[in-house]
Structure 1
Amino acid sequence: MDANNPIIENRANPHELERMFRQEPEAFTKSFRAAWEQHPDSQILAVWYERLNFSEKTNTETASVIPKDFFIMGILAILAGICTRILFHFVDTEAIAPVNLAFGVLPFIAAYFVYKNTSSKQVVYTLAAVFLISGVYLNVLPLKQEDSIMLAYLHLPVLLWVSVGLAYTGNEYGKGGARLAYLKLNGEYGILYAIMAISGMLLFGLTMKLFGFADMDVTEFYFKNVVVFGAAALAIVAAYLVSSNLKLAKNIAPYIARIFSPIVLATLVVYLITLIGGEKNPFLDRDFLLSFNGILLVVLVVTIFSITESGKDEKKKASDYINFALIVLALVIDSVALSAIVFRLSSYGISPNRVAVLGANILIWANLIWIMLAYTRFLRNRTGPIAIQDAVTKYLPVYGLWAAFVTFAFPLLFN
């Protein structure tokens, strides 16, 4: 009988057993049952028995019982969809500002992270206070198109984003590794949500086409009651999937970072060279100055995303030199923007927009200097990549504090 079963013949040869399994896994599994029944005392076959049967047991358990995390996520996703739909009604009737839609999603993402991390009461109370106070304060402000109020609307999402970071890091908020994990999660989250959003748009187009064949226009109803609800609910689902170590986003993110960094660098170099010979001037053209700051933010985001995906490898790679070049380029852009802002302040006086842009540029300039110095030491083999990541993660609360200052203080100072 042993001659008819290759597993029995090679039960003392681990290498051959592994080769047989990889070549024909189904045939190997069938033959293994007979081999195990005849030789239950074989240690090598005992290891294979656990290997082949462990996954079946796990799948059976997960199929019969809904994980608690999944159940909590489902409830929060439904609540986020309902809350966002209600808020959208008031936004649509111009009763509240559109920025209120953030309160239909971000508090529920924060709630999921708090549940998963079992955060301390201090963290929970801080998060509750931030969301409650900012929500009340935001809606006490008059619905006017004034600069200080619009700046509050623009900076509030930054404050709430930092608050979600507190929920994600929980009791380890002060640790650089936890903050770095949150930054990485944002990149992976963006990739996954974009994939789901594209799928949703395809479904939307298909649905409109099908109802169009029946001469029925359901665009407005479908958008308000399905798209709005689904967009909010999927935000919670995406947070659940990414925080549950979904392999898709984690495998794609590093490659996107490596592809986009050199493309952004080459594009911006050509763009800046073109501008030198052009007629546009950020010192005199307000719109051009705003676009200049938009470019700065894009470079900063791409650079941080690339740094967070670079890992802890001490060996220098081509991407490190590209990141360093991006940081230097961002510093050049920021320095020009700072000079233009100072010029406009001295020429045209103080305004909420100029003060806000000045403050943001100073903060970014200081952060870029810190990152550049850390990268310089790393490229000279004086420090490891941890110093670069610290320059990114330790500065995050500064952006949150500035966003809070603009959100709460500017409407009072300039009105």
Structure 2
Amino acid sequence: MDIDNLIIENIDSPHELEKMYRDDPEAFIRSFSYALEQNPDSQVLAVWHERLNFKETPNTEKASLLKKDFLLMGILAILAGISTRIILHFVEMEAIAPINLVFGVVPFIAAYFVYNNTPKKNVMSMLAALFLIPVFYINLLPLELTDSIIMAYLHLPVFMWILLGLAFTGDEYGIGSARLAYLKFNGEFCIVYASMAISGMLLTGLTMQLFSFVGMDISEFYFKNVVLFGAAALSVVATYLVSKNLKFAQNIAPYIAKIFSPLVLLTLIAYLATVVVAGKNPFLDRNFLISFNGILLSALAVTIFSITGSGADEKKNISDYINFALIVLALVIDSVALSAIVFRLSSYGITPNRIAVLGVNILIWANLLWIMVSYVGFLSNKTGPSSVQDSITKYLPVYGLWAALVTFTFPLIFN
């Protein structure tokens, strides 16, 4: 029996029609016209006709907006590259501190966010002030790298990241779903940026090799004027791509989270077991304590990335149990680190470094505890996944406040 008659015979069976279409779409489309001619009043075939012949009406207004967005992205990307290169010039002259390079990128990403989600005047004014204050303050500090100034430099990017979140969320800065969207944006941004950066690295290597064949070493010029410009501009391009709901990032981000969570968990368990066997002591070994805190931050970042990748109505699965195990392990690591920091404070005295690290570890410990308690409620079916997400999003301002405190007060207090 030919497919023409098969379509007519199964006209009242949507399942069979779908199966026939999936088995051989081209044959189905060729035979569909005959079936429709024989049954012009069939609602089922009318729906199939629209499905096979649907053409979306061009939305000129949407196309115009996309062009404007693309043009704005291009302008901001170029400005970010130029600004970063100018800042590097003054850094090389030792007129300003290297941390100023952050001001060559972050304001332009924030400008793109504000353009796409224009906040009210009071929020806009607050954003402008909060961006200008650190620019002036950081450059009023002496260039001498004391402990307190180093701590200010290390905490400034965290403060700027929180400000970017304010620009991203706009008038909805107090809403958990908006903050969650910002965290998701960060994960997808990293994926897109890394993908393009790898391509840039390959192009850089090829360029270096080609010029070396003619006896020219352009590495210094190329890195200062092309690589640096590209790295800064690329951040705005990646922001544009992610904000336009790039399917690549959206599709791959959850899988990366699900793959990395168990790998990080196994690595941490193996590492801690090795530490115990080797007899390493974070109470006495400063470098080991630093690495301990690095592990803690990595575990927290991977867990947050995995949690934000889950939907608010998603049911619990194996990933949630892995995340819970990671949180518990991170809490143990943080408790040991806190004990070591308190021991070093009581034994060797107060320094800006120890106070800053103590504060960060206390904040992380409290956040981990909140996440763990929320996870217990979720895994025991007492609450939904939104409670776990709330334990992350509602805590974000606390990190921003601590970063601001260290950045703006430590150089004054300890100097």
**In structure 2, what is the equivalent of residue 175 of structure 1?**
175
Greater Cα offset, 192-201 or 206-215: 206-215
8 Å Cα contact 1:11/1:45 also seen in 2: no
**Compared with structure 1, are the counterparts of its residues 4 and 109 closer, same or farther at alpha carbon in structure 2 (3 Å cutoff)?**
same
**In structure 2, what is the equivalent of residue 300 of structure 1?**
300
C-alpha distance in structure 1 between counterparts of 2:182 and 2:64, whole Å: 32
C-alpha distance in structure 1 between counterparts of 2:295 and 2:404, whole Å: 23
C-alpha distance in structure 1 between counterparts of 2:149 and 2:35, whole Å: 76
> Within 5 A, what are the aligned runs for 1:390-401?
390-401=390-401
C-alpha distance in structure 2 between counterparts of 1:79 and 1:189, whole Å: 20
How far residue 216 of structure 1 moved from its aligned partner, in angstroms, is 2.0
How far residue 62 of structure 1 moved from its aligned partner, in angstroms, is 7.9
**In structure 1, what is the equivalent of residue 194 of structure 2?**
194
**Compared with structure 1, are the counterparts of its residues 4 and 242 closer, same or farther at alpha carbon in structure 2 (3 Å cutoff)?**
closer
Equivalent residue of 2:253, what SS?
helix
How far residue 25 of structure 1 moved from its aligned partner, in angstroms, is 5.0
List alignment gaps of at least 5 residues for structure 1: none
**In structure 1, what is the equivalent of residue 246 of structure 2?**
246
Amino acid at match of 2:294: G
Amino acid at match of 1:350: I
8 Å Cα contact 1:299/1:330 also seen in 2: yes
How far residue 40 of structure 1 moved from its aligned partner, in angstroms, is 8.0
Deviation digits for residues 67-97 of structure 1 (CA, Å, limit 9, x no counterpart): 3222221211111111111112222333221
Greater Cα offset, 268-277 or 348-357: 268-277
**In structure 2, what is the equivalent of residue 369 of structure 1?**
369
**Compared with structure 1, are the counterparts of its residues 167 and 29 closer, same or farther at alpha carbon in structure 2 (3 Å cutoff)?**
farther
Equivalent residue of 1:67, what SS?
helix
Greater Cα offset, 272-281 or 338-347: 272-281
**Compared with structure 1, are the counterparts of its residues 37 and 91 closer, same or farther at alpha carbon in structure 2 (3 Å cutoff)?**
farther
How many residues align? The count is: 413
C-alpha distance in structure 2 between counterparts of 1:82 and 1:91, whole Å: 14
Equivalent residue of 2:239, what SS?
helix
**In structure 1, what is the equivalent of residue 85 of structure 2?**
85
**Compared with structure 1, are the counterparts of its residues 394 and 201 closer, same or farther at alpha carbon in structure 2 (3 Å cutoff)?**
same
C-alpha distance in structure 2 between counterparts of 1:402 and 1:244, whole Å: 32
C-alpha distance in structure 2 between counterparts of 1:139 and 1:246, whole Å: 38
C-alpha distance in structure 1 between counterparts of 2:6 and 2:168, whole Å: 49
Percent identical across equivalent pairs? 70
How far residue 312 of structure 1 moved from its aligned partner, in angstroms, is 2.5
Normalised to the residue count of structure 1, the TM-score between the two structures is 0.91
8 Å Cα contact 2:299/2:330 also seen in 1: yes
Deviation digits for residues 130-186 of structure 1 (CA, Å, limit 9, x no counterpart): 111101111111111111001111000000000111111111111111111111111
Cα RMSD (Å) of the superposition?
2.7
C-alpha distance in structure 2 between counterparts of 1:304 and 1:137, whole Å: 32
C-alpha distance in structure 1 between counterparts of 2:271 and 2:10, whole Å: 66
C-alpha distance in structure 2 between counterparts of 1:335 and 1:349, whole Å: 20
Amino acid at match of 1:152: A
**In structure 1, what is the equivalent of residue 100 of structure 2?**
100
Deviation digits for residues 362-386 of structure 1 (CA, Å, limit 9, x no counterpart): 1111111111111111121111111
**In structure 2, what is the equivalent of residue 110 of structure 1?**
110
**In structure 2, what is the equivalent of residue 275 of structure 1?**
275
Normalised to the residue count of structure 2, the TM-score between the two structures is 0.91
**Compared with structure 1, are the counterparts of its residues 232 and 33 closer, same or farther at alpha carbon in structure 2 (3 Å cutoff)?**
farther
How far residue 393 of structure 1 moved from its aligned partner, in angstroms, is 0.6
Amino acid at match of 1:339: S
**Compared with structure 1, are the counterparts of its residues 68 and 37 closer, same or farther at alpha carbon in structure 2 (3 Å cutoff)?**
farther
Amino acid at match of 1:113: F
Equivalent residue of 2:115, what SS?
helix
**In structure 2, what is the equivalent of residue 256 of structure 1?**
256
How far residue 310 of structure 1 moved from its aligned partner, in angstroms, is 2.4
**Compared with structure 1, are the counterparts of its residues 31 and 395 closer, same or farther at alpha carbon in structure 2 (3 Å cutoff)?**
same
Amino acid at match of 1:118: T
Equivalent residue of 1:325, what SS?
helix
